[in-house]
Chains A and B, each alone.
Chain A
Amino acid sequence: MNAAHTSVHGAEHGHGHSISNEQHNHMLKFGWWLYIASEVMIFSSLIAVFMLAKRLYPAEEEHLVLPLVAFNTFLLLTSSWMVVRGLVSIQRGDQVGLQRALMITVILGSIFLGIQIYEYNEFTHHGVTLTSSMYGSAFYIMTGFHGFHVFIGVLWALWAFFKALNGHYTAENNIGIELFGLYWHFVDVVWVVLFTLIYVM
């Protein structure tokens, strides 16, 4: 942390230090990265169990539909791209650019979830359910946990969209969008890993 940016207010009143916006944002991001670190460990445990189930029940994988999920992966990658473009937009003071990016993110995230539900339906019809085997349990818990993160991300993007409509974010104040971006990109990173391990490997 850069001490040069620290300002001291009210020292004569005995109130101690206040911090600059840059330091405040740095601490928020640090806290958010700690949260992401904990999520990495949770997903690692789920992946560890899934990889074991994948070895023990290879026949279950025959029912996976790669092209559909590849398309879903493309949607998530596109949504991440929208979020970073939205961040740059608001950093330049472009409110409409941010609003558009957030709305597209909401739409793409929702389609992703819709396709995931469709995939679950197909998989269930082939007899792979949450309780049918260790593979089914690991598959649904891991992808479901990820899908839950996407759902929360969609709600967060929608909330941010309405705040953006009210002009809450500005070129100087956009840490909320950056933190949302960290969350959303992490969800994207997790899917990149899950997509490779579940559907392609």
Chain B
Amino acid sequence: MQREHEPNEHAHHGPDKPTYNLVFVALTVLMLLSVGTAYIELPDILHYGILLTLMSVKVGLVVAYYMHLKYDNPLFTWVFILPVLMGLAVVLSLQGLAGY
């Protein structure tokens, strides 16, 4: 994404207020869409698929823009993604074990 340089921007590297505003609007709309799915009759697999996709996009927006992973050292991204993958493995493993 091409950033617009503004006065004093040398003091930081990251998005500016218009980008943050846009992310906030996107997060709110995605949250409302998530809530909306609770009131619509959908097959479980489709319902879960939509919700998990919306959730992943919301998490991605917050960590990429609000937490600056898109702009910071890529090392930070790996420090975050690796435990997320391990955590996901823990969650899925326990669900699998519970199925006996």
Contacts and interface: CB of A to CB of B under 8 A. Distances in A.
Interface of A: 26, 29-30, 33-34, 36-38, 40-41, 43-45, 47-49, 51-52, 55-56, 66-67, 70, 73-74, 77-78, 80-81, 83-85, 87-88, 91-93, 171-172, 174, 178, 181-182, 185-186, 188-189, 192-193, 195-196, 199-201
A186 B63 CA distance: 8
Interface residues of B, number: 54
B9 to A, nearest CB: 8
29 contacts: A37-B83, A40-B83, A40-B84, A44-B86, A48-B93, A48-B95, A49-B94, A51-B91, A51-B94, A51-B95, A52-B94, A52-B95, A70-B32, A74-B28, A80-B24, A84-B15, A84-B65, A85-B17, A87-B12, A88-B16, A91-B12, A182-B67, A185-B63, A188-B66, A192-B55, A192-B62, A200-B35, A200-B51, A201-B48
Interface in B50-80: 51-52, 54-55, 58-59, 62-63, 65-68, 72-73, 75-76, 79-80
A48 B91 contact: yes
Most A C-beta atoms less than 10 A away, residue of B28, B48, B66, B87:
B66
A186 B51 CA distance: 20
Contact of B31 (A44, A70, A182): A70
A85 B58 CA distance: 18
Contact of A196 (B24, B34, B72): B34
